[in-house]
Structure 1
């Protein structure tokens, strides 16, 4: 870990990520409360915010990953944050003019830009962070996201309550501008000349062909889909688990979310510290098994302490698996395909989560709460035989161990 913090590229990217995470949560909470106030608690308007946030992931993720493999990643990251700052400034002007509906555009623009900048960060890691340190680097970024899952809503709420939407948008402009300035210090990145006549569509197809030829990539992506489907089935039902099984108030759900966030923080940290020293195939299979069992126990529990413990462990297991598998993806993929692979695996998991989320309410009505959770547990358990088929070359393990 000490060597990781001496790596200039990692420190700069992590610092920019910190600015972006603060900005994301200031944006999420400010726009949520602003829309609620202007629509009189209209649930349709609130749900539209989620649509404007997640829809660009499906539309732009693959093309963003492909362009990340074509463009200069440093320039892409800087341009993305600069465009975010400019777009928020435009939205602020509309808000000041009384056109509050413009906040939906702010959410969409931010989501679109992230689909170009995130794969570019992976490209920078691939070139400038030693392979032995990639699990630790991935773990730190995952832990940062988990930390803001805990403190982000509180931070965003305090800023909005204290300063209002206009000041929150001004802060967003400052944060994205700072992120762009930080990334100016990244090393210059030069790509090899591309063959004449190459098009985005051809390179997208080349990316799919590359994934089809890499058995491990297909297995990991399929595992992501199963985890996403299982998580999507239970995520909307958490409030019913709290009220029906534990007989608590719905407002108590926030504490269980906080426990899950703390678990993610610790799980990501554990993956950063030990991810490069483990047998990936066995630890991933064991992690999937543990996750499935934890979901089942959480569903059947009628004791608050046990349910809370399971929520913490589920968060830790999810983060650990995401970091380990994410680091494995970066390590095994050739640099020229990093963006396209990232741009494919992410929307597959998101699509599975959306399918699960859309189905959960109908399943709960048809088969009640606990069987729905057990079905989600069984779906997660299906990923265990998938994980056991993973094969990593012995030389890669030796190299990684030597780096520790």
Structure 2
């Protein structure tokens, strides 16, 4: 643990994650409330926020991962955050002129840039963090980020309530700009040059073949697809669960986000301690089943304590699963393919979220809120049989 805290790359990436999480949560809450106010609480308009967030991820993650395997990861992250700051500043100027629909572009820009920077940070982890410390490192970064899932919605709600959407986006600009500056302290990265005949298309195809040739990666892709579709179907409807089932104000959504963040903090801490001993398959199966059950319980619940408890428990279960699975992926995937594997698996999950989010408002209007949540739970549960077919036992044995 002490050795990890002396690792410059880990400290910088963890710090940048915190800075970005702060800005993103301020953005998320501001845009949610702003769009609801501008459209009269239209569920289709709210679901479009999720669509605009995940559509670029679906489109750009495959090519972004491939390019991340070719480019210098340090400068990819720095330039990406700098471009995000500039782009959001332009969007802010458009909103100031009265074009409120430009808020959707703020979500799009962040999503596009992240598809180049996220695989780059994983590459830096692979190069500079010893493999035996990877589960601990990922668990700690997840736990630290969870702090902002707790306080981020509160801060975002407060800033929007006091100062409005413009100030919220100014904070996002500052966060991205500061993150770019911090990453200048990362060590230089030297990458082997690809063969002269190698092209982006060839490397993309090689990445697809690499994923297709590994059973675990194919199964993980299928699991992510179903979880994405199920969670996407209800993700934009969280605010309506709070207002219609619990009869609370939309601003109270922040407290449920905070409880989920607290659960993520606990789950991340447990993964940090027990990550090396965890059976990845067992963790994923248990988390998927629990997630499906929790979706039904939340939909049926009209009691705040029950919904609150489920949010906390789901946050912990999902965080534990993400950390164990992320650690396993970093362990079993060759460094040269990390970006492409990430860029292959994530588009499938994003496609599921995108399809689900695009349909969520329509389903809510046609079959109502609770049936939509039950349908989501059924879809998520279908991921459990796929997870059962995974074969790696423990993270320390994941290379076998």
Same fold (TM over 0.5): yes
Alpha-carbon deviation of 1:397? Answer: 2.8
State the secondary structure of the residue aligned to 1:86: helix
- Looking at structure 2, the residues matched to 398 and 328 of structure 1 have their Cα atoms a distance apart, in angstroms, of 6
Aligned residue number for residue 174 of structure 2: 174
Map 1:122-201 onto structure 2 (within 5 A). 122-165=122-165, 167-201=167-201
Query: What RMSD in Å do the two structures reach over aligned CA positions?
Result: 3.3
- Looking at structure 1, the residues matched to 297 and 161 of structure 2 have their Cα atoms a distance apart, in angstroms, of 38
- Looking at structure 2, the residues matched to 198 and 118 of structure 1 have their Cα atoms a distance apart, in angstroms, of 23
Alpha-carbon deviation of 1:42? Answer: 7.8
Map 1:1-400 onto structure 2 (within 5 A). 1-31=1-31, 39=38, 41=40, 43=42, 49-94=49-94, 102-165=102-165, 167-238=167-238, 248-249=247-248, 251=250, 253-301=253-301, 303-360=303-360, 372-392=372-392, 396-397=396-397
Q: Relative to structure 1, is the Cα distance of residues 362 and 267 closer, same or farther in structure 2, using a 3 angstrom cutoff? A: same
State the secondary structure of the residue aligned to 1:184: helix
State the secondary structure of the residue aligned to 1:70: coil
Alpha-carbon deviation of 1:47? Answer: 5.5
- Looking at structure 2, the residues matched to 355 and 332 of structure 1 have their Cα atoms a distance apart, in angstroms, of 30
Alpha-carbon deviation of 1:221? Answer: 1.3
Q: Relative to structure 1, is the Cα distance of residues 95 and 299 closer, same or farther in structure 2, using a 3 angstrom cutoff? A: closer
Unpaired stretches in structure 2, ≥5 consecutive residues:
none
Say if 2:78 and 2:180, in contact at 8 Å, map to a contact too.
yes
Q: Deviations over 1:63-85 (max 9, x none)?
A: 11110000000010111112222
Q: How many residues were matched structurally?
A: 398
Say if 1:295 and 1:314, in contact at 8 Å, map to a contact too.
no
Alpha-carbon deviation of 1:34? Answer: 5.9
Unpaired stretches in structure 1, ≥5 consecutive residues:
none
Alpha-carbon deviation of 1:120? Answer: 0.5
Alpha-carbon deviation of 1:202? Answer: 1.4
Alpha-carbon deviation of 1:256? Answer: 3.3
Q: Deviations over 1:154-177 (max 9, x none)?
A: 223333454555554444333222
- Looking at structure 1, the residues matched to 150 and 172 of structure 2 have their Cα atoms a distance apart, in angstroms, of 20
**Alignment TM-score, normalising by the size of structure 2:** 0.86
**Alignment TM-score, normalising by the size of structure 1:** 0.85
Q: Relative to structure 1, is the Cα distance of residues 393 and 98 closer, same or farther in structure 2, using a 3 angstrom cutoff? A: closer
- Looking at structure 2, the residues matched to 242 and 302 of structure 1 have their Cα atoms a distance apart, in angstroms, of 9
- Looking at structure 1, the residues matched to 387 and 26 of structure 2 have their Cα atoms a distance apart, in angstroms, of 38
Alpha-carbon deviation of 1:194? Answer: 0.5
Bigger Rg over Cα:
1
